[in-house]
Structure 1
Amino acid sequence: MYLVFIAMLAINLSPEVLSAFGFLKDDLEAYNNATSLKNKSLYANLDSKVSDQYEKYRPLQIKLNKVKEISADYYGYLADLKKTLFLSVKDSTNYELMNSSNFLDDYFFRGEGYSKKGQEFIDKMNDFQLSLTTALGQEYSGLATVIEKRFSAADQVNSENKTIKWLVYHYRGFPLIASITNITQLQTKIKNTESDILNALLGRKLDNEVSLKNYKGIVRLDKSAYFSGENVTGQIVLGRYDATLLPDKVLLNDVDITKNVKDGQVIIDMPAGNVGNHDINGVISFVQDGVPTDVSFSSVYSVITQPTEAVISADKMNVVYRGLENPISVSLPGVADKDILVFSTGLKKVGTGKYIISPGAEKELSVNVSAVLSSGKKVSSKKIFRVKDVPEATTMIRGESGVISLPKSSVLGLRIDAGLPDFVFDLNLEVTGFKLKVPGQLAIFVSGNVMDERSKSLIRRAKKGDIINIFEVKAKILGKSSYQLKKVSPISVEIIN
């Protein structure tokens, strides 16, 4: 559709066509915002991985942060340029009045050449392309080729087979709103490129993780502490456990225990030793593609005389969520469950060592545990949990989020759902209402989670290529009607026919 508009610029454009450019610009900006949210989620996911495994993911984070910086700089430059162009007209919302090319022609060109601002525009695009490919490095040459083609300022050949400079071909003599839309399309290319790079680099990292060379030896003990006189029991396994992968040789503390291999695991059964800390280390050897490969492992266990404090752990994570029933487990080594006393706000026992905490408005709460050992000694322990709200939900259509493409007939019968795909709890959400914006039409509020007759009427007016935005979505947790979700991300639907 955009190419058709460009072809019509040689004639005197009608107000409707000028408005169509403006509406296309608005749709592209909405798409850019949705892509920004998707990219932000990917960056946040990477940050979480860096927090968990700094050495593994920090180099990738450094590279992608550079990509983010380069993209933001070029995107911001184009945003500032659009502001300057809008300032040249009295009403930046009336697209029908933006039919003159005079301001941008004077801004970009001097005679047959470029003005200082025009040359800066070309330099910014070339610098972006070069900076991005340099940041990616040689190992991502395939992406570099795509970026070079996507942001090429090479001369163009018109329908008369004449060679024309890129900037002249795309901007000289065009209505102002067409040029602003063209710049917005460049911003869309920036967001899409950033998204492509994120998915490509993160995808390669995950592929590398499943490679055999990245397997790790893991010591998995049945307990983390043992009494004097007990045997240390447990298993040694390879990361990405595979029962069919059997090592050729296993050394544990310089002792050959290959005979203890069973179903892909190395069974540990040895005296615990004296009171204190003890090291477990060794090597698992196997052959990959005919080449001997060693995977080392190490761990530490403690031999203690008796427990001194309770062991408290959150079944989900180190926080509890407001409005939900958060499961936690409480145990004390060597003490029966019936002899352990647990106290906390909103606490309810649901099984042996199992509890539910339902926090209120507080920002943190404590779980206090006390017990009397068989020796008569009293022990107590306390654990502080942070209380957080349920995070932002994601609007979903047929299990997809962000920007999706559908026929108009399918959009009419859509059901709008919401989910928390990266949340630790499996919650059922129900959408109770949302706003719908069809290009060229006023936004309306729709009650419930399906299209009503008023919204269907607006959708029927949409054309191929239009992007329908669904935003300000209201949702609740089924069974928790008193708790309101703070925010639900928007979703966009592109009409494909």
Structure 2
Amino acid sequence: MAGQGKISARQKMINLMYLVFIAIMAMTVAPEVLSAFGLMEEKFEKANEVTTDMNAKLLANLKTKGKENPKEFAAAGVKAEQVSIASDKFYRFIEEQKKDIIRMGGYEVDEVTGRLPFEKMKKGDKLDEKWFTGDRLTKEGDKVINAIKQYKKEIKDILGVDQFYNKFIENFEKKFDISEVKDSEGVTKQWLDYHFKGFPSIASYTKLTAIQNDVKVTQADLNNLFLGNAAVEATSLDKYKAIVLADKSAFFAGEKFQGRVVIGKYANVPPTALEVNGKKYDVSKVIDSTGAARLDFNVGNVGEHTIEGKFTFLENGKELEIPIIDANYVVVPKPNSATISADKMNVVYRGVSNPMTISFAGVPDNKVKASASGLSGSNGKYVMKPQSGREVTINVTGTLDDGSPVRDSKLFRIKDLPKPLGSFNGQQGNAKLPRNNVEIGKISADFGDDFDFKLPLNVVSFTMKVPGKPSVNCTGNRLNSSAKSALRSARRGDLVQFINIKAKAQGSSIRIKTVTPVVIELAN
């Protein structure tokens, strides 16, 4: 090992045995475990990118506030800048350790996916040689520990003795605790030894990325503390909403929208009185949980109308009146055309229940009637079950408040059900299965995820074809004795075909098209 110096022959033998043991461990680590570490590393890396961006914005916010309000935020901005410098320095140091793992292991990033070769990053002996010598740390190992200690010291020096940061420092110490650790056998080990010695390189790489994540989170926590919860609440626009104030609440076709967008907040303060268009409201009944008042009055004749009134609040023992301004609405004529739409698609399918919503704009659903061959339902909700033909026309009649009728109609295309997809033991199209799985498996069929209707299908018959053998017809959805006999004569790698698959819909006599075939390659 590097940095051994003058050691006894016995110690050299122990070190050699340790290297052999680590090599054996690396060879036996499952690829799935290595991939899991890799995926965890990627998640930490993405989190670090997000937190880095957030820290930059928080720091910029502090600088802006420092210029606007030096008394409140200038000192905090300086501290945040110092924390950023210390954190970036330590972050880069950890990044260099990660690069050494890649360099020493000879690993390369995949040019297509941009990923490290997780499943190849088994051995950790190179990092062990760099950081450990026997039971002690090498100079490089000491650098790691000293870097952590230095980062902790710099952060605490920046915060000073201000009691406001006591809780943060307590959590900070726990997050970067490098004291000795007892393993599962009760043996006391150095922190670096316990967490990195003997681990696969991808595990150590991931742990280093996790430390970087702790650095980024530490910086974010401090930036938020420097901003101060009360200050953020008072100065941030986060609690405000963008409110659109239209010049009128209805526009005719062809008109240009006119209005304004303002920033404001809903005042969750109960008023003492509310008056609109000369009518006084009981505030205990019309004010909701957000402080908004719900109005209820007749809109009047066709044309533009103005809403006038005032809110009255009690402030410092005096009544404060807030007038309602820039409030108007437009009453438009009643509609004379229907809205007919299929809930699922623009066509209707034969043999299934097609849900539909049918209404007349401005006409209550209970005063709208729809009729067509295969159509049933009422109050806006209908079901279409087309049977024959290629098209169906839906006629709609609405009754206005004055008793006069309005009518409309729409033509829909009728389509047959699509070709079902065959599957064997859940495998569609081409699959590879062991012979025993094929022998006891079953054929099934469905319309696939792209078909929005639920219509369960039962396979009633199919034909199995084994290379070099006559086709075997089977009833039901499983292999019969003849099919099993033919299957046993097949060889590994043979393609067993399931064709001419017939299915029926449960509870329906609708004709179902022949199911798509399935081809199974025998794995043994």
TM over 0.5: no
> Quick one: higher RCO (CA 8 Å, sep 6+), 1 or 2?
1
Question: TM-score, normalised on structure 2?
Answer: 0.39
The structure with more strand, counted as a fraction of residues: 1
Question: TM-score, normalised on structure 1?
Answer: 0.41
Structure number with larger C-alpha Rg = 2
